[in-house]
Amino acid sequence: MQEQDDEKKIKLSTVIYAILIVLVVAIGVSSVLAYGTDTAVGKKIAAKISKAVPFPAAIIDHTNFIYWDDVEKNLASVENFYKSQELSKEGLRIDFTTLDGEKRLEIKKREIFNKLVEDKIIEILAKEKGISISNKEIDKIVNKKLAEYGTSENIKSDLLDSYGWTLEDFKKRVVLPSAYKEALTVIVTQENLDNSLAKKRIEQAKKELESGKDFAEVAKKYSNGSSSDNGGELGWVKKDQVLTEIQAAFFESKNPGKNSILESALGFHIIEVEDRKKEDNEDVLQLRQIFVSKDIFADWLQEQKKQMSVIILPAGFSWNSSDGLIDFKNEEMRTFEKEERAKLNGDASLMF
């Protein structure tokens, strides 16, 4: 009886060892494919295995990781977006099936990889300055967006159709990084006061408005941030939904003169009230703006990225410390990207 029990233990341990050996071999092979090859087949195999095995794609500041599966998931979301949009009606095209199309997809992958690394660097720097973003704060931001742009169900449906995202995906991939960046921007801007370039830009925007140019056109030309994409439209906002400086100018006193420049911790604003109403005895304004961020943050962040320890693991990519970004190792790909961006020719994949 004892011999049978011992034999079962031996067999069980043999099975466990065999499974571990297979796992180690799988990790080893997939690591070679992910990090040591730059072939299309290798990339596809590595992408499939990375869904089960968490490959680090980048190591930042020695203890922070970007995983390759996150790069692949974000790339799949971008592809889903292009497929869900009727871009041909706008005179734009998108085709990743050709040889050049596959190269453009690699360009998009590099951009996504860069963004993930930058977001992680911003989070590291924010935490070093004592910034912490709670789940409650993220939920508050999301609820505000839901109130501005439609019902919760409609937003969820749009995210799923356009990107294949759930609301939780949206919080993790968009809202949280944006919240860290905004909070860090405020602190860095307060510590650094040279904003001459940003001020010149907003003053030029003001001149064009005063010359009679359309507000939306000027916003698209000069404004930073997401509001520039839709002509500066901010939608309907309440007092507690805008910066303190804007509260003071539009909710707590008479409106400033037309095309007046307001300065906030984030940058310079020209704000126009399109309409106003009352909700539960509270002022609600429909606003649009031209916003120029204080350039000091972008410059400061660039310097921080150059000084940060960043190790890029996948084959085909490397960290360019002099520019603070991920670059292609392959000279042919670098040349291809430069040439494609120079000509564009209506290819939506290189425009946004």
Q: Judge whether 113 lies within some domain.
A: no
- Buried b / exposed e over 87-107, threshold 16 CB at 10 Å, is beeeebebebeeeeeebbbbb
Q: Judge whether 228 lies within some domain.
A: yes
Say which residue the tokens 């809202």 belong to. Answer: 175
22: amino acid identity, one letter: V
How many angstroms separate the CA atoms of 130 and 41, rounded? 44
Q: What integer pLDDT is reported at residue 351 of this predicted model? A: 47
Q: What integer pLDDT is reported at residue 100 of this predicted model? A: 85
The tens place of each residue's pLDDT in the chain, 352 residues long, gives 545 554 544 556 666 666 666 565 555 555 555 555 555 555 565 556 556 667 889 999 999 999 999 999 999 998 888 877 766 555 556 778 888 888 989 999 999 999 999 999 999 999 999 999 999 999 988 887 777 666 678 888 888 888 899 989 999 999 999 999 999 988 987 787 677 888 899 999 999 999 999 998 999 888 887 667 778 888 888 888 888 888 888 887 666 678 889 888 788 999 988 888 888 888 888 888 999 987 668 888 988 999 999 999 998 999 999 889 999 999 999 999 888 877 765 555 554 4
| Whether the model pTM is above 0.75 | no
3-state DSSP assignment of residue 62: coil
Say which residue the tokens 């860090």 belong to. Answer: 184
Q: Judge whether 105 lies within some domain.
A: no
Q: Judge whether 87 lies within some domain.
A: no
E strand or H helix at 34, and its extent?
helix 2-36
Q: Judge whether 92 lies within some domain.
A: no
Beta bridge partners of 209: none
DSSP 334: H
Q: What integer pLDDT is reported at residue 33 of this predicted model? A: 52
Q: Judge whether 29 lies within some domain.
A: yes
How many angstroms separate the CA atoms of 49 and 61, rounded? 26
Domain that holds residue 40: 1-53
Q: What integer pLDDT is reported at residue 179 of this predicted model? A: 93
DSSP 347: B
CATH value at residue 277: 3.10.50
Q: What integer pLDDT is reported at residue 73 of this predicted model? A: 92
- For the chain, what is the domain count? 2
- Domain end call among 276, 294, 312: 294
Q: Judge whether 152 lies within some domain.
A: no
Q: What integer pLDDT is reported at residue 143 of this predicted model? A: 84
Q: Judge whether 26 lies within some domain.
A: yes
Helical residues (DSSP H) of 37-166, grouped into ranges: 40-50, 68-84, 99-128, 135-149, 152-163
How many angstroms separate the CA atoms of 287 and 225, rounded? 15
